[in-house]
């Protein structure tokens, strides 16, 4: 049996849907009872049961502080070892993201899997196209950006879900492999041109002050600022071949997705930008 965690979230739901479209039998989990999803609460280790699961697709259990995410992932990996899961597919963070404010829990989880008794595949997912769009802002009818000239090798959830489904369907072909799943580089200037609006570059300090006023959770402003800083300084813009290799085709063009995520002209900042 294939079990996909976090199937009430966008990525987990997309993976489960893609598996179904490929006529692969799979089950999803949710922290709380929800429809036909199996209940699985990572914050209650004693309740976690993975008996009968052959392949576990472990969708990262953010968003939260590093220690919370580490504890959640440790609990589910420990249960997988105990209950005889054959293979774990983990949705991690792109290799270029080591400087991001939420990288630590991902890298810890990778190491935990590599040192476990389990067979594993690590999918180092790039940042979502709609995340990039949601981190742009509006001043009247002008698009605002703190990304400078930096690009993000943005990727769609749909492509990432398909890649995860490909691996989960035949995990033995991908045992011990780490894939870096990034897409097409996109800049704020590309988005402004696509929308046909002027672009205004704002400083990192300006964006930081906006985030401080946005009423976010305590850990979120630093995480979001790390995305702005990494893109602006050129750390997240390099494409790679792994996603196309798994998909058997070129990744989708994400510019339209980025543009759509900017929404109507506005000045607010999203509170769910790091949600997986």
Helix count and strand count (H, E) for the chain: 10, 12
Radius of gyration of the chain (CA): 19
* Position 271 confidence tier, pLDDT thresholds 50, 70, 90: very low
> Which residues, 6 or more positions from 100, have their beta carbon under 8 angstroms from its beta carbon?
93, 223, 226, 227, 230
> Which residues, 6 or more positions from 5, have their beta carbon under 8 angstroms from its beta carbon?
12, 28, 29, 40, 42, 56, 57, 58, 59, 61, 76
Per residue in 48-99, pLDDT (tens digit) is 999 999 999 999 987 899 999 999 999 999 999 999 999 999 999 999 999 9
Tell me what pLDDT residue 269 has: 44
Per residue in 186-242, pLDDT (tens digit) is 999 999 999 999 999 999 999 999 999 999 999 999 999 999 999 999 999 999 999
Superfamily of structural domain 2-261: NAD(P)-binding Rossmann-like Domain (3.40.50.720)
Separation between Cα atoms, residue 192 and residue 198, nearest integer Å? 6
Predicted model pTM: 0.93
* Residue ranges per structural domain of the chain: 2-261
- Give the start-end residues of each E strand in 126-226: 137-139, 142-145, 151-154, 178-181, 184-187, 199-201
Tell me what pLDDT residue 250 has: 96
Per residue in 115-163, pLDDT (tens digit) is 999 999 999 999 999 999 999 999 999 999 999 999 999 999 999 999 9
Inform me whether the pLDDT recorded for 268 exceeds 60.
no
Per residue in 10-62, pLDDT (tens digit) is 999 999 999 999 999 999 999 887 888 999 999 999 999 999 999 999 999 87
> Which residues, 6 or more positions from 16, have their beta carbon under 8 angstroms from its beta carbon?
4, 7, 26, 27, 28
- Average pLDDT of span 163-173: 98
């Amino acid at each position: 049996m294939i079990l996909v965690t976090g199937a009430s979230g966008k990525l987990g739901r997309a993976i489960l849907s893609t598996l179904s479209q490929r006529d692969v039998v799979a089950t999803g989990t949710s922290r709380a009872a929800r429809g036909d999803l199996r209940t699985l609460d990572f914050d209650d280790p004693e309740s976690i049961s993975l008996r009968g699961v052959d392949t576990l697709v472990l969708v990262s259990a953010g968003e939260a502080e590093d220690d919370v995410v580490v504890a959640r992932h440790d609990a589910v990996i420990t249960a997988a070892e105990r209950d005889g899961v054959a293979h774990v597919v983990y949705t991690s963070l792109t290799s270029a993201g080591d400087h991001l404010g939420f990288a630590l829990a991902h890298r810890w989880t990778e190491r935990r899997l590599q040192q476990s008794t389990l067979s594993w595949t690590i999918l180092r997912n790039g940042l979502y196209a709609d995340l990039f769009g949601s981190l742009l802002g509006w001043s009247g009818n002008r698009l605002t950006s703190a990304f400078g000239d930096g690009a993000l090798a943005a990727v769609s959830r749909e492509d990432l879900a398909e890649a995860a489904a490909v691996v989960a369907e035949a995990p033995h072909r991908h045992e011990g492999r780490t894939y870096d799943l990034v897409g097409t580089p996109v800049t704020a200037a590309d988005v402004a041109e696509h929308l046909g609006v002027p672009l205004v570059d704002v400083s990192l300090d300006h964006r930081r002050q906006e985030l401080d006023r946005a009423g976010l959770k305590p850990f979120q402003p630093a995480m979001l600022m790390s995305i702005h800083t990494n893109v602006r300084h050129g750390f997240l813009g390099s494409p790679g071949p792994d996603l196309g290799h798994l998909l058997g085709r070129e990744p989708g063009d994400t510019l339209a997705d980025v543009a759509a995520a900017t929404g109507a002209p506005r000045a607010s900042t999203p509170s769910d930008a790091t949600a997986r």
